[in-house]
């Protein structure tokens, strides 16, 4: 981001030492470091929020594309759907129809009269 060489840092430190003096320079350096850390943390927070929003937008766009594709496949012409369903029906065997057993009738000798 900012390119500062070792010589430039030395010049800044010398000027700060001359302006602030040896008593106040350590405190000023700590405060500068504190503000730099806060600024960096704020920058990373904003950056992660933006990246999260972009990811959410990409996800929403992908969902809309998927929904649109699903709608387009469900609104195909009837002939195309019929051909597709006929091909699918011929590819798999027909299911056997299972009918439930008929209830016993009262005319049978097993109707419950014992004796």
50: CB partners within 8 A, 6+ apart? none
Within a domain: residue 95?
A: no
Given a cut of 50, whether residue 115 has pLDDT beyond it is: no
Q: What is the pLDDT of residues 42-83, one digit of tens each?
A: 999 999 999 999 999 989 999 998 888 888 887 665 555 555
Would you state the structure tokens that stand for residue 85, as one six-digit string?
Answer: 């369903």
Question: Which structural domain range is residue 71 located in?
Answer: 6-75
Which of 24-33, 35-44, 70-79, 90-99 reaches the highest mean pLDDT? 35-44
Within a domain: residue 113?
A: no
Contact 20, 28 (CB under 8 A): yes
Contact 104, 113 (CB under 8 A): no
Within a domain: residue 104?
A: no
Within a domain: residue 67?
A: yes
31-35, 53-57, 74-78, 102-106: range with lowest mean pLDDT: 74-78
The structural domain count of the chain equals 1
């Amino acid at each position: 981001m900012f390119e500062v060489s070792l010589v430039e840092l030395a010049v800044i430190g010398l000027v700060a030492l001359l302006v602030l003096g040896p008593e106040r320079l350590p405190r000023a350096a700590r405060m500068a470091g504190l503000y730099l850390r806060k600024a960096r943390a704020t920058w990373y927070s904003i950056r992660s929020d933006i990246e999260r929003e972009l990811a959410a937008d990409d996800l929403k766009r992908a969902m809309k594309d998927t929904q649109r594709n699903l709608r387009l496949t469900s609104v195909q012409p009837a002939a195309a759907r019929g051909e597709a369903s006929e091909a699918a029906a011929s590819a798999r065997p027909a299911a056997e129809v299972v009918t439930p057993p008929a209830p016993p009738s009262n005319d049978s000798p097993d109707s419950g009269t014992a004796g």
